């Protein structure tokens, strides 16, 4: 499954209501760590077909990043049934893998 881009706060609200785990990567175009980890995030999206994967550009949606408490990029938040179920900050491949595995069991 590909990683989709969230373009508005309204779209975000619709996306997170899903019953399946919804992983969202908050990233910034100037973030070197984001450029490193986002392709890996995309690879994991293929392995975890029972989850949805999205990304949010914090430069384009700063109000959403602020509302979600995103202070650093990259920040990964998993949602289930409209609620945040977990958060990971940083571009650590092993931690990202464990984070995804933990929330898809």
* CA distances from residue 88 to 8, 10, 75, 105 in whole angstroms, order as listed: 22, 23, 6, 17
> What are 27-58's pLDDT values in tens digits?
999 999 999 999 999 999 999 989 999 999 99
Options 3.90.1150.10, 3.40.30.10, 3.40.50.920, 3.40.50.2300; which CATH number does 3-102 get? 3.40.30.10
The pLDDT tens digits for 68-103 are: 999 999 999 999 999 999 999 999 999 999 999 999
Side-chain half-sphere CA neighbours of 60 within 13 A: 11
Mean pLDDT of the chain: 95
- Looking at residue 28, what is its pLDDT? 98
Residues recognised as catalytic = 31, 34
Higher pLDDT, 104 or 90: 90
- What pLDDT does residue 54 have? 98
């Amino acid at each position: 499954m590909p990683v989709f881009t969230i373009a508005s706060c309204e779209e975000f609200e619709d996306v997170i209501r899903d019953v399946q785990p919804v992983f969202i990567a908050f990233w910034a175009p100037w973030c070197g760590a984001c450029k490193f980890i986002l392709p890996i995030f995309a690879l994991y999206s293929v392995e975890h077909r029972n989850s949805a994967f999205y990304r949010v550009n914090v430069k384009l949606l700063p109000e959403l990043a602020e509302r979600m408490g995103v202070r650093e990029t990259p920040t990964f938040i998993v949602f289930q049934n409209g609620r945040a179920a977990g958060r990971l900050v940083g571009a650590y491949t092993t931690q990202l893998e464990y984070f995804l595995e933990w929330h898809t069991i």
